[in-house]
Chains A and B, each alone.
Chain A
C-alpha cells in the first residue's frame, strides 16, 4: 500500500505542474519575473490544495476505484491471480433474491429512526427553552453517541441476556417476562433497532438543538407578545427554520438503516434473521472468499444510497428559509 501512496502523490503533482505550464504559455508577458510571480500566485491555491487532495485520493478514491475494479473480477481476497468476469457479479446480485431479502431487516431500523428523530426533536425543542439543569440533560442525551459502537454492543448483550439487566429491572416492577429478547427474529431486530435509537438520538438531538438555537430570540418575544402558545411557536417558528437539518437527518436515517453493521454484528453476528446487507457483504468477502461478489454488493449499496439521496433532494428541494 505504501507504494500506492507514493505513486498517487507523484501523479497529482504532475497534474498540477502540467496545468501550471499550460497557463503560463497561455498568457504572454514580456517580463519573465512578473510571469513567474503571477504564476506562483495562481499556483498557490493548488499548492495548498495538494495535501488534502493527495490524502483524499489515496485514502478514498483509490480504494473505491479498487473496489469497483474487484467487483468485475472473481478475486477470492488472497490469491495473487484474479480473472475478469465482466458483469457476472452484478448479474448474480440482481438474480438471487436471497441476497436482497436482507433489506427487509432495514425496515426495523427505518421505523426506529422515525421514533429516533421524533424523540430528538422533542427534547431539542424542550431544552431550547430556559429550563433547570438544561446542560445536564443535554449531556445525558448526547453521551451515548460518544461511546464506541463495539462497547455498546457488548453492554447491551449483557442487558438483553437471560436474567440480565433488562430482566432484573422488569422483575423489580413485578414483570416476569422470561422472554429471550434476542431469541426470535422479530424480537431480536426490535431490540437491536432499540439499541441503535439509544445510540443515535444524541446526534440528531445536537443537530436539531443547533438549528433551533440559531433562531433569533426576538422572534419568540414577538410571538409571545402576540399571544402564541408553545405549540404555535414550534409550528410556525421552529419547524420551518430546521427544515434543512431535518432533511439531512432523514437522509442520514435512510442511508444509516440500509447500512447497519456494528450493533447487530457484535451482538448476534447476523444469526436469527438479524443479518443486514452489510453483514452479508462482509460474510461473502471474508467467510466465503467471494471478494469480487462482495465488492459488487458494496457498489450496489453505494448506488442505492446515492439514488435515494437524489430522489429525496428532488422531492424536498433545498430552499432558502425566510422567517421574516
Chain B
C-alpha cells in the first residue's frame, strides 16, 4: 500500500460515510455535518491527486482547488446553519400559539 492509495481510499470511505449520513440522518444538524464529511472526503481525494513520490514536488493545482472547496463549504455551512436557526425560531413561535 503506497501512501497515496491509503489516503485515496480513506477519502472515498469518508465521503461514503458522509453520503450515508446525508441521505439517512433525520436530525437537521447531523445532515449538515454529514455533508461536511462528504466535502472532507472529496478534499482528501484532491489532495492525493497532488501527491508525488518524494523527492518530486507536489502538484500545487489541487491544493488551490481544495482551498476553494473549503471556502465554498464554509459559506454553504453558514447558510445552512442560519436556515436551521430560522426554522427553529419559526417552529418555536408556532408552538407558543
> Do A and B truly interact?
no
Q: Using a CB–CB distance below 8 Å, which chain A residues touch chain B?
A: none
Residues of B within 8 A of A (CB): none
